[in-house]
Amino acid sequence: MSNDSPTISLTKQLISCASVTPEDAGCQKLMTDRLAAIGFEIQHLRFDDVDNFWAIRGNSGPILCFAGHTDVVPSGPESSWQTPPFEPTVKNGQLYGRGAADMKGSLAAMVVAVEQFVAKNPNHKARIAFLITSDEEGIAANGTVKVVEWLDQQQLIPEFCLVGEPSSSKQCGDTIKNGRRGSLGCTMRIIGKQGHVAYPQLASNPIHCAASALAELAEHEWDQGNDFFPATSFQISNINAGTGATNVIPGELEVIFNFRFSTEVTDQQLRQRTTQILDKYQLNYEMNWHLSGQPFLTAEGELVDAAVKAVKEVTAMDTELSTAGGTSDGRFIAPMGTQVVELGPVNATIHQIDECVSVDDLNKLTDIYQALLKHLSI
């Protein structure tokens, strides 16, 4: 007979589902069956090839929404894992498996925390909801962003949202993400003229033409950040040119780059200033921009206060507020006017071979989520 806590037991069941994006592989049924059993109304929302659900309990009052994703990134070579990635295994107090930290452990902690809270408070004053997708680790086109559109049509706007992303750095609860930087990507094509390397006067080398412009883009100060965000960063992630031959000047150069930007600058300003720098060097170019998300910030208010108090109550730690890291589905929820924070386990092994999470941390996270419900007066 297993001695697992309810949270660890459910986490193991979720890990056993090989839910590589955009597959859900049965995770959401595990969750919705549990939530329906304690009085949640379930709305299954499938968009294209993506399964999502919205669940809500209560008929009036503010809505606290727990948000997260059941999909995981590919495991990589299974032979490189100590134990099979979709066979949850506990060793030395750590639970191993793909998604253990990102973010099936958080999902289990949410469900169990709400089960225990409802058992103690069956007539809670406000509403509790879940917004769960299987499309967070991929292109995120048919997941949370579509559910948010549906919520807007239903006039169901959560006042508060807790995203279970692994926010912690060294100890569970040491960091709460109360915002995220925006992400603006671009695939740029610099057009030259192909030719023989021995006759450069008859060609135009797009690599040579673009070099100074790329250097200026990399060195440019886009802003200085603010009290909540670091300065905007520009990073080139891919460069590709040439035919593979040593004696051919390429005809074009492809450059892929990304801005992670603060609230001190808009995506339109970044686009405009980028083209100004390129035009300065009289380049012939084409650009394909992709805005993944705007920056968002929940600086102060009831949710941040409740989350900080919950961590302190359970762990005795003073948590740190941070906007560092990548994007999350919070970028789709915050524009509704919802207060959003991310609070989850330690992120040291996410997306890695032998991803794992502390068993004690997941049980602690369950207690933190319960304390949050209490401090928000749900």
- Active-site choice (24, 71, 267, 355): 71
How deeply is 28 buried, as exposed, middle or buried, from its count of CB atoms within 10 A (0-12, 13-18, 19+)?
Answer: buried
Q: How far is CA 341 from CA 118, 168, 249, 302, 305, in A?
A: 22, 12, 51, 11, 11
Q: Catalytic: 71?
A: yes
Active-site residue among 24, 102, 135, 136? 136
User: Which residues belong to the active site?
Assistant: 71, 136
